[in-house]
Every structure is written in C-alpha cells, then in structure tokens.
Structure 1
C-alpha cells in the first residue's frame, strides 16, 4: 500500500476538477459566504458543558436568528437591539473564514480532497471558537465534521478508483481518536478531552489522506505550537502550570500548516 497521497495528473493531462481555478474559487466562495453561520454556531454553542444552547443576547434576550438585521451575526459581534457585545470578538470569525479561503486556494488538495477540506473547515472553525470561549468541543460540530470528511474522502477515492488513500485516512482518523480518548481514560483531566478525540477523527483522516509523514508533521506542529504558546503565557504570567489550554485551535493550525508544507 502506498504511503503517499493520490497520484497527480501526468504532464499534458487535464488536472482533476477540484484543482481547477473554477473549482477552487467555488469551494472558497462557499466557505466565505457562510461566515454568518459560522458566527452563529460559535455563539450558540459557546456555553458551559451541560448548559442549554444560547438562543439570544445575554443582555436583552433578543433572539439570535438568521434574519435581518442579523443580531450579533455581523463582523462587529454586537446585538442588533441593545448593541451589547456577544459571541466571538469582532472580525475574528470573518478573518478565520478568509484564512480558510486562502488555505483552500493554496493547498489545492490532490485526488478530489478539496470538498472534504472545505467541509472540515466549515465545522471546525466554529468549534475552535467554542473551545477558546468555553473549553469544549461540542458533538454537534465535531461529529458532522468527521462524518462528512470521511464520506467526501471516500467519494474522492471512488472517483480515482484507488481505495488506498481512503483506507489510510480512515485508519489514521480512527487511530488518532483512539489515542486521544485513551489519554483521557488513563490521565483524566491531564489528558486530552473526548471532544479533542472526536475532532481527531477528521483531523487524522485529512492528514492521513496525504500520507503518514503528513500526519506526523501535523501532530508535531500542533504539539509544538501548544508548547510554545504555553511557555509564552507562563513567562508572561498569564497562566499557571496547572492551567489546561484548549487543544482544538492547535489541531486546526497544525493541520493547516502540515497541508501547506506538504503540498
């Protein structure tokens, strides 16, 4: 079984549809235009574990819905009625959406993986904002990310008539999730959370699609960034040794960095 990503088109042959400028632009535009939905998801699920999802402004109770004038769904992150700050900081979700567009354009995944990457970004970006705000990765975001990523990668493998990349992706996703879940069982709160394990289902699949070295690179970047940020915060006395930083953002950054470096 090959340990590298799906074969690229030979010189003189037509590129796969997802590598064409039109395909990249369509996928990038899809991510960018759903930024209000990303902000809505981040706002609703950024609540303590076991609490009901947020449905309105914390200050005045105005409902948060996708209707004009879109209370709290604009880049300013303010309630449309009382103008109180609510949800992720101003502009952060929109900047993340733009970064996702740049990643889709620059990476140009091989073998039809672009739809899977776009799908994963659409669910993972709000999940990361929830993790930063409430230290949790809700199932309503991580599980659809995993299921859709696996299915879209499977469809890409069928289109290429080569199951090897998908089998490797499934093995990587399941293995990484089991590793994270095992750390929770053995180390308790010192290990990864179950939310991290569920996010790892899709992270491992995406990185594994490109090969085992890319998976290792992504994990090294994630752990390295986590260690670097922890040291900086400790030196600045912003956290203590016992502080548990959310790992979801580092998984997102590590995955993006590995894909950029490997393609």
Structure 2
C-alpha cells in the first residue's frame, strides 16, 4: 500500500500532463487558474483528492482512481507466479500501464513518453531474468511476440487507416506482446482473445444503453491493458 501511495503522485502527474488531445502541448498547469503542476506541490493536486491547491478544480484522473489502480497492480504482482525478475518486469509494466490506460480513456491517446519506457524496461528486466537463470528461450520468444504484435497492429493502420488500430496501440502492443510472450504463445493468444471479447462486450453494452453509435471508436488501450492483467492473473497465478 505504501508503495502505491509513493508512486501515486508520479502517475497522477503523468495523467495530468498527457491527458490532452493529440497535437496539443503537454499540460503544465491547472486548466482553470494556470497554477503550475509539478512534484514540488504534490498535495492536493497530485494526491487522492486530485484538486488544484489554488482554485480547487479537478486535475487529471478522478479522485482515488489512480490509487485504486495501483493497489490493484500490487495485488496482481503478488498473485502472479514467477521469479523476482519476472515480478519486477510485471511491476514495471503496470506502473506505466496505469497512466496509459487512464490517458487513453480520457483523450484516445497513448503517449510515446509512456509507451516506450514501458516496453524498454519490460524487455530489459526480462532479459536480466533470462541471464539470471531462466535461459534465452522465453526471452527470445517474448522479443518475437512483442515485435510481431506491434508490427501486426501497425499493419492495420497502414492498410485500413482510421478503421485499423492506431500507432499508439501498436507501441503499447510492443510491451504487451513482450510480457505475455514470455509466458508462452497460449498465454499471448488468450490475452488477445480476452482483449477483443472485452472490447466487444463494452461496445454492445454502450449500444444497448444508447451511449454510442456503430461508428463510435472506443479507446483500445484500456482493454488491452485490462485483458493482459487478467490473463496473467488467471493463467499464471500462484
């Protein structure tokens, strides 16, 4: 719990900075009064209250959401079976995945400044795990899965345009494929199937509730992140 609370301000800062429409500059201050946003003023703006200390306007993710997501991430790391290195790679990915999911849900954007560190750190930590005794096979498979999944997503962008996945989804797929691929091809396949099942279910529920049209485009990142987390929890738990 203390670890989640310690990382919380950093995650909230990332969400507040990057939850802006594509093409806009990163947010540097409160949208209401312009008060600067930074770690030198962590509370209440970057705490669970998520309020500007000057005008009390909400900043970034809703109150308590980041903290709840990080606590859930700690539970996932505890439940998933694996070595210290595997747990470290998962924890690293989750710390970046939480703001990615929240930013994508808010503005349909997956910033490179979050996607690239998630992928690079996960790949490096799994590589160190391979050197520590797991051997090269799972790491090579993870590398192949990450690159292959990212290229597959990117191909839909080139071939289908707006009807395909965005390039942000492809960059997120790089870390997702690496993480799931480490545990095996069946785990990767299960994660993808669950991702599409969740997105389809939510789309149908929104249509039934008349909250969306057939032409509506749901952000795919939150589904990919949620399904990856659920897959690892269900298929590799202790």
TM (normalized to structure 1)?
A: 0.87
- Cross-structure match for 2:71: 98
How far is 1:29 from its partner? 5.3
1:54 to 23, 27, 31: 27
**Where is the helix percentage greater, Structure 1 or Structure 2?**
2
CA offset at residue 234 of structure 1? 0.4
**Unpaired runs of 5+ in structure 1?**
1-27
| Aligned CA-pair RMSD | 1.3
Aligned equivalent of 1:226 = 199
Q: Distance in 2 between matches of 1:213 and 1:32?
A: 35
Question: If you compute each CA radius of gyration, which structure gives the higher value, 1 or 2?
Answer: 1
Q: Distance in 1 between matches of 2:74 and 2:199?
A: 24
Classify 1:207/1:29 alpha carbon distance in 2 versus 1 (closer, same or farther; 3 Å).
Answer: farther
3-state SS in 1 of match to 2:85: coil
* Kept after mapping to 1: 8 A contact 2:30/2:59: yes
Check the 8 A contact 2:4/2:74 in 1, yes or no: yes
Moved more, 171-180 or 30-39: 30-39
In 2: Cα distance, 1:145 partner to 1:217 partner:
21
Provide the C-alpha distance between the structure 1 equivalents of 2:4 and 2:221, rounded to a whole number of angstroms.
Answer: 19
Contact 2:126 2:139 in 1 (8 A): yes
Cα distance change, pair 183–76 in 1 and its aligned pair in 2 (3 A): same
Task: Give the secondary-structure state (helix, strand or coil) at the position aligned to 2:114.
Answer: helix
Cα separation, 1, equivalents of 2:134 and 2:71: 33
Aligned length: 236
Tell whether the 8 Å contact from 2:4 to 2:67 is kept in structure 1 after alignment.
no
